[in-house]
Structure 1
Amino acid sequence: MCGIVGVVSQSPVNQLIYDALLLLQHRGQDAAGIVTQQDRKFFMHKAKGMVKDVFRTRNMRSLLGNSGLGQVRYPTAGNAFSEEEAQPFYVNAPFGLVLVHNGNLTNAKALKAELFHHDHRHINTESDSEVLLNVLAHEIELGTRGLPLQPQDLFAAVAKVHKRIKGSYAVICHIAGHGMLAFRDPFGIRPLCMGKGADGTRMLASESVVLEGTGHLLERDIAPGEAVFISLDGQVYSQQCAENPKLMPCVFEYVYLARPDSVMDGVSVYQARLNMGATLAKRVISTVPPTDIDAVIPIPESSRPSAQQLAQMLGKPYREGFVKNRYVGRTFIMPGQSVRKKSVRQKLNVIASEFKGRNVLLVDDSIVRGTTSKEIVQMARDAGARKVYLASAAPPVRYPNVYGIDMPTSNELVAYNRSVEEIRAIIGCDALIYQDVEPMKQAIAAANPKLQGFDASCFDGVYITGDVTVDDIAALNAARVGGSEDDADTSRLALPNAGGDGA
């Protein structure tokens, strides 16, 4: 998962893009980058790290111009330790293109070979985003050779890109001297929206919270398969470029990834999480008598709306029992020391009075590996809880994600090839309650009848692009980014907008 933003204005945009990336920091903490344009020249700075650490005053002063784009990266494939794979990516022909991408191409390996043998283009990193940029550049070049650039030429190029690449992609591309091109995959798996400022500034971003947080009005989401071109004078052109587009966004955006104050594809993320809490309440009642529950306690942060609604439906007190330390830093490795794994107890602390002598229902947004859940359940017991029940607002995560979420391989998923009772025994809770897949989808879709479905592949194993095989998953798993404890702590409990079991 990543966060992307693009801006076309009549005023300098460096500070605006920086502010936008801060609002997208929850979508990626590995690296950040900004590129701006002035007089057909690009100015770029990118590096590993959080936004506040990557950009210093001297860097910001060098980012000149009234248009530009930015990205925060959370890598899912490629080399997590290479600054060369931080975005934006640049190619000098045709015209000069810089690109940011959120998503994951499922046929990147085949495309890379195709680019080399047939298109005579060189890919210098392991990033699928560089592959995507070169495919786009090749198609634009073929359609505009010797001719002035027109929006229709770009739309024709995007139509060809849709036919060549597979997977998920929300893309913003700056074309030197011309403007900003943005497009979304034919299923709309990854989000992208557009807005306008009072001064005429145009902004594209992964989430609506970026527009609102920078004083811009959300106009609409980019439709699946659609391409939008914004000229440097602010004129907007758009066209549907896919043959059979369907609105089927990633359900995990609503479960965990997005900020609760965002609206995606017509659905309030906060309302979606409230709805999931209401449907989860029915599952809880069928598993644990409400009379056996003394309090409902969320695992910070993104499970809070679901936990609040669940508590209300059960008629039970909602309590805050965990406090998250937002300032847990990296683990420094000194010579001669072994790697020390960070404990959940460094990231969360219990309020013992909320547990002592009580039967508590803990609510999480999702359970992935199960190791964090196991430790949190033990923390509740150590604080004096008589019984500890655990409810997940999402169904069991049984399958890997191939569309741009840093999801573990099958063997790392606690729910893979296990029954709910087997998972409960591993985690150590007295009862484990999961959301069902269809009620989850219905709870989210209730806010927008135009939704034709969801990518819920990590829950139901259905890969909506139709091109993913067992061999493809194995190859993607082999390319999946790993981390090490001597790097910055980016586990979900360490993130600004995190809750849930990411470790």
Structure 2
Amino acid sequence: MSDWIGHECGIAAIRLLKPFEYYIEKYGSPYFAINRLYLLMEKQHNRGQDGCGAAVIKTDVEPGRPIIFRARSADKNPIQQVHQHMLGSLAEAFDENPDGINDPAWIKKHAKFAGELLLGHLRYGTRGQGGLNYCHPFLRQSNWLSRNLVLAGNFNLTNNDQLFETLVELGQHPRSEKDTVMVLEKIGHFLDEENDRLFRQFRKEGISRMEITQKIAENLDLLSILKRSVKNFDGGYTMAGMIGNGDMFVMRDACGIRPGFFYRDDEFVVVASERPAIQTAFNVPIDAVEEIKPGHALIIRKTGEVLHEQISEVKTVAPCSFERIYFSRGTDRDIYNERKQLGRQLTERVLKAVDYDLDHTVFSYIPNTADAAFYGLIEGTKTYVAERAQHHILAKRDLSPERIAELVNYQPRMEKIMTKDAKLRTFITADADRTELVSMVYDTTYGIVRPEDTLVALDDSIVRGTTLRESILRILDRLRPRKIVIVSSAPEIRYPDCYGIDMSKLKDFVAFQAAIALVKETGREALLTEIYEKCKASMELPREEVVNEVKVLFKLFKPREVEAKIAEILRPPDLNAEFEVIYQSIEGLHAACPNHKGDWYFTGNYPTPGGNRVANRSFINFMEDNDARAY
């Protein structure tokens, strides 16, 4: 994606199912679990570079010793910082007692991060806020083992105001309205209620207070706690938590918007946001990794019992398609194939755009993440070339061997035209006004493109188009092509996201800008006021009755009309080459990613009521020239 946007987060969790000393004896290192957690996080570093955190809980700890240990960093290379902090704590223990490294029981007792429950988190700040205090995991601590809660997640909720009111009605005094606080306190409330219920039950049975602690730990109904906690969550989430009694859980939203995978055997239960991270870190085949079902929770009891149970009603399953297009790493088998298919399905439109003149067409791609879709486009083009060769050979039976060889061996021209200088980009982002330097972020391969050529460059997605307009198109134009065709493997982004991607302002989207321009050009400005009034009125409706009023805007124009206007908007005034933009169709997206129908940013079809409310609020902000976020 040539336009950078904040998005998603990543989680990694490990539950050791055997005694701690087992892993030291089998794998020969007291650092084994910490290193595996690090690898899980490092293999998902694409999901969060604003900060990182990890927490560990020890089980069966004697009173007087802490059970929860946490390390967080918002500095440069946060994953490595957290890992080194955890390793350093073990090293400090061994410095005090060098012989302890050969004593698993001593390690478990004295080394801080030597525990059975491990939870890691990678953070992208979708609200633009950063710093150590925003890094997960978050703690809700207590002297009662089974009231301690550690929470981390990849989530964004649209109804923080409603959740805030719920907590107030429950008698709490929330310290803020941030969704992380809402979630932590909501789960914490029902965790407290469950502890109180069990305490009363066991007291009636005449059990002593000291014995009750153990009885509560053994009988905690975590499934019921989670069902009650998520009852009015509106948003996308995969959340992981650890309880002080040794229980662990991971839960996924009812629509399956945010991803979550797990692997289990007799030694571990492992959880991650992306499947390849588990495959790599634990060297397991793809079929051994399971997906957490939408609306379900994975619960690992202290006893080692593993449950995968439903916690919320599943109405609309809509996993985020942007995970497949861009956000998740392309090392997942299915994602890789889907991205190739996205590119392959654009073949016909691209061939038409270059007038089927492959002798004078150069194919390339812009960000490295677009490579799989690019391979798909090239495969589609090669199929066309092969069919063309077959047609010529069958139509002209007197072809010479040389001509047949020429037809059979013909290949489309593929070149690496642009590469990004990451160091320069980091340097420039410190000063947003240095527009001239931004154009130097990309290095260009000169001498490949000829004046008679069309240059086709594929991008994952075009969100704002700012980088294209201010940098990439001007750089490509220096190569002096006759025509430039920018191809997006994703459809036009027309609506805001509210489930974890930093796309909440309609005015930023070039597709929305194009629609507004078309409205004004066709003399329909009154429609904007009409939509605005309906959006304002919708703010007074119950959340469940709100519909997306903004969809009316895009129904006025065909996708090709919007596409053409986008090309006008993105075209720099000094561009010499002809210029065209091609977008993926919604039908093409669904055909390539049949199991991930979450397409609200393209279609406006939000899977939860809160999404419609966010879209309407974003339009209100646009009309009122308000730069605030829509949620």
TM-score (norm 2): 0.69
| 2:55 and 2:120 in contact (8 A); partners too | yes
The one-letter amino acid paired with 1:253 is E
How far residue 157 of structure 1 moved from its aligned partner, in angstroms, is 1.9
Matches of 1:17 and 1:391, distance apart in 2? 38
Where in structure 2 are the equivalents of 1:51-200 lying within 5 Å? Answer: 51-52=78-79, 54-55=81-82, 57-62=84-89, 63-77=113-127, 80-92=129-141, 95-124=147-176, 127-147=178-198, 148-149=216-217, 153-196=221-264, 200=267
Q: Given the superposition, is the C-alpha separation of residues 48 and 273 from structure 1 closer, same or farther in structure 2, using an over 3 Å criterion?
A: same
Question: Match for 2:454 among 337, 359, 382?
Answer: 359
Matches of 1:338 and 1:247, distance apart in 2? 40
Matches of 1:401 and 1:477, distance apart in 2? 16
1:432 aligns with 2:581: yes
Gaps of 5+ in 2: 1-7, 24-30, 90-112, 199-215, 383-411, 515-561, 572-577
How far residue 371 of structure 1 moved from its aligned partner, in angstroms, is 1.1
1:389 aligns with 2:485: yes
| 2:126 and 2:502 in contact (8 A); partners too | yes
How far residue 237 of structure 1 moved from its aligned partner, in angstroms, is 1.4
1:273 aligns with 2:339: yes
| 1:323 and 1:348 in contact (8 A); partners too | yes
- Cross-structure match for 1:457: 600
The one-letter amino acid paired with 1:367 is I
Instruction: For residues 149-194 of structure 1, give each alpha carbon's deviation from its aligned partner in whole angstroms, at most 9, with x where no partner exists.
Output: 5688211222222322110010110111322111100000000000
* Higher relative helix content: 2
How far residue 243 of structure 1 moved from its aligned partner, in angstroms, is 2.1
Matches of 1:152 and 1:437, distance apart in 2? 46
Instruction: For residues 71-119 of structure 1, give each alpha carbon's deviation from its aligned partner in whole angstroms, at most 9, with x where no partner exists.
Output: 1111113x61332111111112552111111021010122123323424
Where in structure 2 are the equivalents of 1:257-406 lying within 5 Å? Answer: 257-262=327-332, 268-291=334-357, 294-315=361-382, 316-328=412-424, 330-331=426-427, 340=434, 343-357=437-451, 358-374=453-469, 375-406=471-502
Q: Given the superposition, is the C-alpha separation of residues 332 and 308 from structure 1 closer, same or farther in structure 2, using an over 3 Å criterion?
A: closer
Matches of 2:355 and 2:256, distance apart in 1? 40
Q: Given the superposition, is the C-alpha separation of residues 155 and 346 from structure 1 closer, same or farther in structure 2, using an over 3 Å criterion?
A: farther
Bigger Cα Rg:
2
| 1:352 and 1:384 in contact (8 A); partners too | no
How far residue 139 of structure 1 moved from its aligned partner, in angstroms, is 2.0
Matches of 2:35 and 2:195, distance apart in 1? 34
Matches of 1:57 and 1:256, distance apart in 2? 30
Q: Given the superposition, is the C-alpha separation of residues 397 and 442 from structure 1 closer, same or farther in structure 2, using an over 3 Å criterion?
A: same
- Cross-structure match for 2:324: 254
Where in structure 2 are the equivalents of 1:194-209 lying within 5 Å? Answer: 194-196=262-264, 200-209=267-276
Matches of 1:245 and 1:46, distance apart in 2? 37
| 2:345 and 2:380 in contact (8 A); partners too | no
The one-letter amino acid paired with 2:472 is I
* Higher relative strand content: 1
Gaps of 5+ in 1: 446-450, 482-503
RMSD over aligned CA atoms reads 2.7
* 1:227 aligned counterpart, secondary structure: strand
The one-letter amino acid paired with 1:273 is R
Matches of 1:227 and 1:457, distance apart in 2? 25
Question: Match for 1:37 among 16, 41, 57?
Answer: 57
* 1:397 aligned counterpart, secondary structure: coil
Matches of 1:101 and 1:152, distance apart in 2? 22
Matches of 1:16 and 1:414, distance apart in 2? 42
Q: Given the superposition, is the C-alpha separation of residues 386 and 339 from structure 1 closer, same or farther in structure 2, using an over 3 Å criterion?
A: closer
The one-letter amino acid paired with 2:566 is I
| 1:195 and 1:216 in contact (8 A); partners too | no
